[in-house]
Structure 1
């Protein structure tokens, strides 16, 4: 059975080949497929495991989804270290190289505009959580209100240092295995050259600024620019109809939460105040 093409990201041509030891989904090495001056970073994957039925079964198995998302993220992280990739969601699979080229042609202008806009930029994530014991004591009280006020001030300050930001309200705000209640879950688009300044601002958070104890501030990144590509429609209009719309898989790929993400992030910092 002919292998399928699993696509991780689209970027500009790289100056050097990808590292031979860089492996992705199904343990397959990643390679560059260049077309019209753009590059799709792909791996060959077994059709039996990654065809429509295989991906469907994988999407219903959290452990297998986590393995795929972790491998997907490893490739995207490696690319982020050397270029500005436009990451695609986990599960974007095409029947052959020609189909990948067609996908590039169909979205060429979108890719070029996004690359121009996002060149040299990365994504940082910030969460504010109330620790479990504190949250349970103040179900509807002043403590949570103060935490929300602090989160609003922090988000406003960080948004002022970023070029763009997104608030996540639909996904689970507290990482798996970490007790507590989410108050803020946001991501920020920051030029790589100003990332140190952004990190220092988050790390300056102290107890006096919050005004209460039991608040945890978590910083993760730098990530590829998942939240700012504007390419969400690609999953609905391209590929072989096996493009996974698996929310759990995409969630794992975009966040640093849980054991499935352990060690996958270049930086993860937590400040309890």
Structure 2
């Protein structure tokens, strides 16, 4: 069976790497490939799943993507417990061990710089959802009924238009409040973080639970300051009806690796198909 090397992260070498035990994608054992003062965290994967053509097809399969993302996250989480690391993009693969070494050579300066910058830091994710308005909208307003008198029909029509206008104005005010809450929450938390990233709001199958995602942010925080950050989130999270704030983490700092520009940062969107990881 042809195999490729799946690379989860680049880490600082650990003293007793041989004793580390973890299962990666496809339950394959994880090991370290050390080169020039860096260690790539790898496992074997099947070429028939991770060659370019089948991988492109797999990335359209949300179930496959979720399983792969959970395995990826599990390995990164286990390794981050024993050494500093820089997470790599989901489904980063090399053809053989020499390819892994070339990866470490090509990115050596970036990896070294990122490891120094992210040492002792973790990522916290914050989302704010605007819940659907429970009040009846214009589509649920009763239609005017035709009466025998022309004036009655006109009055009923005017009442219907007034109801539509009031409903639209109420929705606009609700969205304005949600936007203001999102900006306030993001600004206050950013003051207590070393860095922040704003990701695109999630929609469809990526969104978790009811409501519209109006804030999707990541914050880089010193590990020892995480308790204070969580406490601040709990103070700031809006309690008003119609808004729901969520905090996830701490994670390895995916959003702040900055190894491949915007493409690397956007990989976080791919991982979030498995956001239920925080529930399991």
Q: Which structure 2 residues correspond to residues 64-103 of structure 1 after superposition, within 5 A?
A: 64-103=64-103
Task: Determine which of 245, 251, 254 is the counterpart of 2:269.
Answer: 251
Partner SS for 2:209:
coil
Q: CA RMSD of the aligned region, Å?
A: 2.8
Post-superposition shift, 1:252? 4.0
Residue matched to 1:166: 197
Q: CA separation of 1:114/1:173 partners in 2, compared to 1, >3 Å: closer, same or farther? A: farther
Residue matched to 1:55: 55
Higher relative helix content: 2
Q: TM-score, normalised by structure 2?
A: 0.80
On the 8 A contact 1:135/1:144 being kept in 2, the answer is no
Q: Which structure 2 residues correspond to residues 32-47 of structure 1 after superposition, within 5 A?
A: 32-47=32-47
170-179 or 145-154: bigger deviation? 170-179
Residue matched to 2:164: none
Residue matched to 1:148: 179
Q: CA separation of 1:152/1:24 partners in 2, compared to 1, >3 Å: closer, same or farther? A: same
1:124 is aligned to 2:124: yes
On the 8 A contact 2:59/2:65 being kept in 1, the answer is yes
84-93 or 158-167: bigger deviation? 84-93
Q: CA separation of 1:187/1:250 partners in 2, compared to 1, >3 Å: closer, same or farther? A: closer
1:194 is aligned to 2:222: no
Partner SS for 2:90:
coil
Residue matched to 1:220: 248
Residue matched to 1:271: none
Query: 2 CA distance for matches of 1:179 and 1:23?
Result: 34
Partner SS for 1:100:
helix
Query: 2 CA distance for matches of 1:250 and 1:22?
Result: 22
On the 8 A contact 1:80/1:223 being kept in 2, the answer is no
Q: CA separation of 1:68/1:117 partners in 2, compared to 1, >3 Å: closer, same or farther? A: same
On the 8 A contact 1:173/1:185 being kept in 2, the answer is no
Post-superposition shift, 1:141? 2.1
Count of aligned positions: 249
Considering only CA atoms, is the larger Rg found in Structure 1 or Structure 2?
A: 2
On the 8 A contact 2:127/2:247 being kept in 1, the answer is yes
On the 8 A contact 1:126/1:185 being kept in 2, the answer is yes
Residue matched to 1:232: 260
Post-superposition shift, 1:30? 0.7
Residue matched to 2:147: none
Q: TM-score, normalised by structure 1?
A: 0.82
Q: CA separation of 1:18/1:53 partners in 2, compared to 1, >3 Å: closer, same or farther? A: farther
Query: 2 CA distance for matches of 1:71 and 1:220?
Result: 18
On the 8 A contact 1:174/1:180 being kept in 2, the answer is no
26-35 or 62-71: bigger deviation? 62-71
Q: CA separation of 1:176/1:136 partners in 2, compared to 1, >3 Å: closer, same or farther? A: farther
